[in-house]
Amino acid sequence: MNFQELFRELSAPPMAFRPGDVLMYPDSAEFSILLLESGTVEVSRYAQEGERILQSFMTAPQCLGLIESLTESPVLSGVKAVTAGRYYNLRLKDPLFQTPEVLMLLLRYLAGLSEETMRQNAEEKHLSKKDRLAYAIYKNTKAPFPATLPLKREDLADLLAIPKRSLYRYLNELEEEGCIFREKGKIFVDEDGHERLAEKMK
């Protein structure tokens, strides 16, 4: 089973969201599981001083709130929509989560997240700031091409802790190298550019 097959098994219709909508609040104890069918969201938390810490961007399909529901612990991070999309709001006691096929899918999902996090952390230790930017663009753009990067330049600067002036310089360099192109303030990646970005990760 994959996520597309899981979505077809759900009887309740998905709920739509718009950019800026908050799908999950930090410290919430509702124990909801959000199945992201489409769209991109940002995951962030707040330090004790109230400073917002941007942790990651996630593009569908994703399963959010699963670990908190399993451990019955409050949500540590908030989830806010970056693009429009759709999601399902479920509970762990839903009979769907008792089927072996769904449990195996979720286990593979959690294992994949863990592996991706470890691999990303290991890779980023050896990447320059420019290559970290290239990696973030590569990771957040998918076929069909040309793909629009769903993140703003300010989001990239916050996520990667890169000064905005340096970010603009790196974007100019990536554009000159044929990895990206920009129109009306948005960043696009075509198929050749995506392959060039992948080469930078090797």
* CATH number of the domain residue 16 falls in: 2.60.120.10
Burial of 187 (0-12, 13-18, 19+ CB in 10 A): buried
Q: How far is CA 64 from its chain centroid?
A: 10
Kindly report the CATH number assigned to the domain that includes residue 183. 1.10.10.10
Contact 123, 170 (CB under 8 A): no
pTM, 2 dp: 0.70
- Name the domain boundary from 92, 122, 152: 122
Q: Which residue has the tokens 């998905």?
A: 14
Digit-by-digit pLDDT tens for the chain (202 residues) are 899 999 998 988 999 999 999 999 887 767 789 999 999 999 988 776 767 778 888 999 999 988 888 888 887 788 999 999 999 999 888 888 889 999 999 989 988 887 777 666 656 667 788 988 998 899 889 889 999 999 889 888 888 888 999 999 999 999 999 999 999 989 999 999 999 998 887 7
Check whether residue 169 and residue 183 sit in a common domain.
yes
Q: What angle do CA 161, 26, 142 make, to 5 degrees?
A: 55
Same domain, 22 and 114: yes
For residues 21 and 107, membership in a common domain is answered with yes
Handedness of CA 138, 139, 145, 150 (dihedral sign): negative
Let me know whether 29 and 7 are in one domain. Answer: yes
96 and 63 share a domain?
A: yes
Please indicate, yes or no, whether residues 69 and 156 belong to a single structural domain of this protein. Answer: no
136 and 92 share one domain: no
